[in-house]
């Protein structure tokens, strides 16, 4: 007698159902990971903005939060004499956005009169306690959007978990 053993159709169906159930549970978890990444990126960016606001006031220096939109990075520069130099503060080193999160664009008052070139995006922090009005748009690869807007006189940020057009031709930014 030959004893060749194989899977029955019922065993095969049970395995397929188990694999399907795994994917039903796992796929939403992967999607929520990018949502966690964009929330984390917006919290960290908000913290950097608040920190720079305080640093500018306490150290009486001008700071610049610079962005590489294509590379998904941002870093801090401080004005020393007539030029900006990258700060040595380890908290403010070059920061890369989490995987799956990218910049869409950054809007400032300078967008209307920018003679520095379209590739240089930054937000200024003045020692008088003023942050340049700016709106930062973030996106995930799943097309989730976050909108972050600076609060010029407090150094805080308003964060929206959607793409909000805060730009207005008459008044550059509308804050809630």
Q: For all residues of the chain together, what is the average pLDDT?
A: 82
Q: What is the pLDDT of residue 68?
A: 93
Structural domain contains residue 75: yes
- pLDDT tens across 44-78, in order? 999 999 999 999 999 999 999 999 999 999 999 99
What would the two tokens of residue 100 be?
Answer: 């799956």
Judged against a pLDDT cut of 60, whether residue 169 lies above it is answered with no
Question: What DSSP string runs through 106-139?
Answer: EEEGGGGT--S-TT-EEEEEETTTEE--EEEEEE
Judged against a pLDDT cut of 50, whether residue 150 lies above it is answered with yes
Question: What DSSP string runs through 50-89?
Answer: HHHHHHHHHHT--EEEEEETTTTEEEEEEEETTEEEE---
How many Cα atoms occupy the beta-carbon half-sphere of 13 within 13 Å? 3
Residue 47 contacts by C-beta under 8 Å, 6 or more apart in sequence? none
Structural domain contains residue 173: no
Q: Count of domains in the chain?
A: 1
- pLDDT tens across 104-146, in order? 999 887 765 444 444 578 999 999 999 999 999 999 988 889 9
Structural domain contains residue 1: no
Helix%, strand%, coil% for the chain, nearest 5 = 35, 30, 35
Span between the terminal Cα atoms of the chain, in Å:
82
- Chain centroid to Cα 80, Å, comes to 27
Higher pLDDT, 103 or 6: 103
Domain at 125, CATH number: 3.55.40.10
Domain carrying residue 60 = 9-160
Enter the pTM of the model.
0.73
Structural domain contains residue 61: yes
């Amino acid at each position: 007698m030959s004893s060749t053993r194989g899977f029955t159709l019922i065993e095969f169906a049970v395995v397929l159902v188990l694999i399907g159930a795994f994917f039903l549970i796992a796929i939403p978890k992967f999607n929520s990971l990018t949502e966690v990444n964009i929330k984390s990126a917006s919290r960290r960016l908000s913290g950097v903005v608040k920190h720079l606001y305080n640093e500018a006031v306490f150290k009486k220096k001008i700071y610049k939060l610079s962005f590489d939109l294509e590379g998904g990075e941002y870093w801090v520069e401080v004005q020393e004499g007539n030029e900006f130099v990258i700060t040595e503060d380890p908290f403010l080193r070059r920061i890369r956005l989490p995987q799956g999160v990218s910049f869409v664009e950054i809007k400032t008052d300078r967008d209307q009169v920018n003679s520095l070139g379209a590739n240089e995006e930054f937000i200024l922090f003045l020692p008088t306690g003023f942050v340049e009005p700016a709106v930062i748009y973030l996106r995930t690869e799943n097309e989730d959007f976050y909108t972050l807007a600076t609060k010029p006189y407090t150094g805080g940020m308003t964060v929206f978990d959607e793409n909000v057009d805060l730009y207005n031709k008459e008044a550059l930014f509308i804050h809630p």
